[in-house]
Amino acid sequence: MSTTQLESEAQSDLFSPLQISDFQLKNRIVMAPLTRCRSDDNNVPTDMNRLYYQQRATAGLIITEGAQISPQGAGYPNTPGIYNIKQVQAWKKITDAVHEKGGRIFIQLWHVGRVSYPGIQPNDAPSLAPSAIKAEGTYVQPRAIELAEINDIVDEYRNAAENAMAAGFDGVEVHAANGYLIDQFLRDCSNQRTDHYGGGYENRTRFLLQVLDAVIKTCGSARVGVRLSPVNAFNSMSDSNPEALFSYVVEQLNPLNLAYLHLVEGQIHDENEAQTDDVFDPKCLREIYQGRYMSNLGYNKASATAAIQTEKADLVSFGDLFIANPDLTERFLLDAELNKTDLDTRYGGDEKGYIDYPLLPVTN
């Protein structure tokens, strides 16, 4: 093996920089999108949110919590939006704070579709979904989106992407995972449409590709990532053939030259059984995808390093670990002990369990 090969292998770990888009990430450690329900009652990010993101700016890339693209896109209280001027101004303070610390930040564009509650939707209207099929639990019965309404929702994504650029984000991640609107179009448990948005894979993927097209035209493909979760059953999701469906979806992503594909490689909340069908390991999608691949779910320093060294991933995102360890990057670097995540303060509340996790003492 030549010296050059040895050197490049030695460089390939969690701490090696990576070029995505027209800028370089300083390492491969990504903060995964995390719903925290701590924006204000008008869905505007707060100073507390700003500090939270700034504390985590040593990640190579931060992906924000899902930010709804419209009032209808919300499914939980106090999640931030990215559809009005107050939200843009508040996010601008956050992107400035992260950039000041040398970090990079993408915003996740979110529409929950049918995963919404009475009291969350404007005028208590039914939530919107590809088909009028309710998710299990206390959700409202959704109303099937009319064909003529689809372009309006695509326009909401476009506006949100414009707002994201105005707010100073380095890019956007289109949330097409975890049983929310775009995923509801992709998988056949929730999409039984008889028009050209339902039926075969091409039809079910149409909405995702339209959204990506609109967002790419706004931001440029190098500033757009997408998140998929092929076997995640969270939010009552399943598909009759996830391997064929998601292989098709990923093939369609190849020509788009996105910043990255972000893959949730299993089941996110363990109260449900993952839809693995024994035969389909979503990690095999890495073989199909030709661009930057970001792995997510349950990684630690060792498994993430192994994934990067064996080229199973270009980037790895960490969720729970970033909740409790704002300085996760430094802790990984030093092999320092990790704080434990307090699940009671995960969703909603105040500073506690949000911006008060201890940092390592600074040693210069």
Subset of residues 57 to 116 that bind ligand PHB, contact rule: CB under 6 A: 66
Out of 35, 184, 325, 345, the residue judged to bind ligand PHB by CB under 6 A: 35
Closer residue to ligand PHB (CB): 262 or 301: 262
178 in contact with ligand PHB (CB under 6 A):
yes
Distance CA 13, CA 286 (A): 18
Minimum Å gap between C-beta 151 and ligand PHB is: 25
Binding track over 266-285 against ligand PHB, x by CB under 6 A: --x-----------------
Burial 209-222 (b: 16+ CB within 10 A, else e): ebbbebbbebbebb
Distance CA 314, CA 311 (A): 7
Is 53 catalytic? The answer is no
Minimum Å gap between C-beta 302 and ligand PHB is: 25
Minimum Å gap between C-beta 198 and ligand PHB is: 23
**Which is the catalytic residue, given 180, 197, 299, 354?**
180
Minimum Å gap between C-beta 207 and ligand PHB is: 17
297 in contact with ligand PHB (CB under 6 A):
no
Subset of residues 194 to 233 that bind ligand PHB, contact rule: CB under 6 A: none
Closer residue to ligand PHB (CB): 268 or 355: 268
**Applying CB under 6 A, which residues contact ligand PHB?**
35, 66, 177-178, 268
Residues tagged active-site: 180
